[in-house]
Amino acid sequence: MSTTDTFTFVSFFLIVVGVSLWKSRRKGASQDESDYFLGGRSLTWPIIGISIVAANISSEQMVGMAGAGAAEQGLAVAAWQLMGSVFIALIAVTLLPRFLRAGIYTMPEFLEYRYDAAARGIMAVVTVIIYVGVLLTAVLYTGATALNVLPGIPMAKGVWLIGAIGTLYAAIGGLKAIAYADLIQGCALLAGGMTVFYLGLQESGGWADFSAGNADKLKLLLFKGHPGYEQLPCYTVFGGMWIVMIYYFGLNQFIVQRNLAARTLRDGQLGMIFAGALWILVPFAIVMPGIMAGSLYPEALSDKSDAAYPTLIKHLVGPGLRGFIFAAIAGAIVSTLASLLNSASTIASIDIYQRLMRPKASQNAVVRLGRALTIVFVILGCIAAPLLTDGVFTFIQQFQGFIWPGVVAAFLGAFLLPRAPAAAGSVALLLGPILYALFQTLNTEGLFANVLGERVLHMHYLMQTLACFGIIFAVMVGLTLLKPLPEPRTLPVREGIALKTEPVVFVAAGGSSSLWPSFSSCFAERKCPLQNKGTSLLNHEPCNRITRAALDPNLWTRDTGEKSALFREACVSGIVRQGLSRAIH
């Protein structure tokens, strides 16, 4: 980097660390559990929304997702974020009110209230293992990859540098420090990402040339015959991906911890919806620049597609601005790292140490342990990170299959099966990893490739997740029928917080959820399967009527019969079942 870039980079991080620690250091802050782990339950919706985005969009996306876009999946990899923008709005009005009502610190804590202490302990241990062994390690690896391509810092040194910066304000300031750092880094990340998109588009000759030269990669759904079909087949987007969405945005401590720290239910809900709306920028800010890098610099990415995003920056962005964008990327990496460390230390301190080992431990002792574990976890991650290889985004998603189905089944069972016995929670959590390991062993493309000489199944890991969930939930239903609870469990109620969802939240959720169909139509040839060849989808009145209704923020106030009629018309005409997929294909 030039002197100007270095100055910009260092200044950015001094501001981030300084502001975050200053905002978090009030009298008594970081000594009380609520202050350190949940920011004193004082976060407002803009901070929550941007903090979720900054924590979610990290090197996992900037490096891994952009790399998948540059390789074979193309724009289809953005389905993870686009589906997320819909599900996070749904979760905001369904699951979040229940969790805030209970006043919990962690997601495992909720399982104890609904099932028993064993369920809480199992989820806590499994979650910490996944966070430290998979997510934390992957963030450090992909972050070091970006540092290696841009300023040329060796991988080993880059891993420890990122770990040191993230640990600094995560250990000292707790969640509030992380949230305020995210506020700065999230804004910088989105601004930098859109700048890279614009520069890449200009270098590609404009939108017309870019879309014409990469038509095969600008598809949101991949059908058989496409090079990226095996990695993300179209049916998985509407098959097993919904389980991932429920877990990630509704049950994942890493994301939900910000919502549990909300000042009010309204702040928590609007923060989630705001994050979902911002995620619509991800295809432009991350995935398409990856596609552009693959098109412009194929030789540089022939051996390492995960280097797509930093390669584009290195070639297109000038001094000064390069330092800012590099700082934004590094900031996103550090943000996710700090969030993971805080969430892992929260669960380990509260759910494992305080609940299972020392129930009478003081709050100061728990906070001190949380700080110490933050340092221990980052050291373990830094040691393991250099062991990873290219294609890290798929690795992250595939490995988390061990936790997705069991956790989602346990939580959905808590609400849908009110008389499910206490043992049902533990059974669900233990069956999840066992069944997924079995499917991975039997499949042609599993994590345990050398266990069997011949594989008997060929099933995508998302469909394996769906199958595991179905089996687990069926077992939970069976246990409920055999030995139901005499009465449903009574959950605790947090005092001093309004628990009614306000109308503005429904309006915002409806508007955010409708953004994906709008985005989809932008990247289609817009040919409606119900019309003659060449007729635009936007000129077909039934399509127009359904689209206008979906984008209407007042849809939720309409008569139920009218909403049902619109949905039936969409289904009968094939717009929901096949029109959209054909148009974008």
pTM: 0.78
Sort 539 into a burial class: Cβ within 10 Å, 0-12 / 13-18 / 19+: exposed
Greatest CA separation found in the chain? 73
Q: Which residues pair with 360 in a beta bridge?
A: none
pLDDT in tens, 424-457: 999 999 999 999 988 888 886 666 656 666 667 7
Q: What is the CATH number of domain 35-72+102-260+281-389?
A: 1.20.1730.10
Q: What phi and psi, each to the nearest 5 degrees, are found at residue 288?
A: -65, -40
Tokens of 26: 């009030």
Closest by CA position to 79, among listed 228, 237, 280, 218: 237
User: Tokens standing for 191?
Assistant: 């601004």
Instruction: Read off the pLDDT of residues 186-220 as tens digits, 9 standing for 90 and up.
Output: 788 888 888 889 999 999 988 888 888 888 888 88
Query: What is the CA 118 to chain-centroid distance, rounded?
Result: 27
User: Could you state, in order of their start, the residue ranges of all structural domains in the chain?
Assistant: 35-72+102-260+281-389, 403-492, 524-584
Per-residue pLDDT of the chain (585 residues; tens, 9 = 90+): 678 877 887 888 788 777 777 766 654 444 555 666 666 677 888 888 888 887 777 666 676 778 777 888 888 888 888 888 888 889 988 888 888 888 888 899 999 999 999 999 999 999 999 888 888 888 888 778 777 766 677 888 888 888 887 787 667 666 677 777 777 877 888 888 888 899 999 999 888 888 888 888 888 888 888 888 888 888 888 888 999 999 988 898 878 888 888 888 888 899 999 988 888 888 888 888 888 988 888 887 777 777 788 788 888 888 778 888 878 777 777 777 888 888 888 899 989 988 888 888 887 888 888 888 988 998 998 888 877 765 565 667 777 888 999 999 999 999 999 999 999 999 999 999 999 988 888 886 666 656 666 667 788 888 999 999 999 999 999 999 999 999 998 888 877 666 777 777 877 777 766 665 555 555 544 333 333 444 433 344 444 444 444 444 454 444 545 544 544 444 333 333 333 333 333
How many Cα atoms within 13 Å fall on the side-chain side of residue 476? 33
CA trace torsion 362, 179, 185, 21 (10° rounding): -50
Which residues make Cβ contacts (< 8 Å) with residue 489, sequence separation at least 6?
Answer: 113, 114, 418
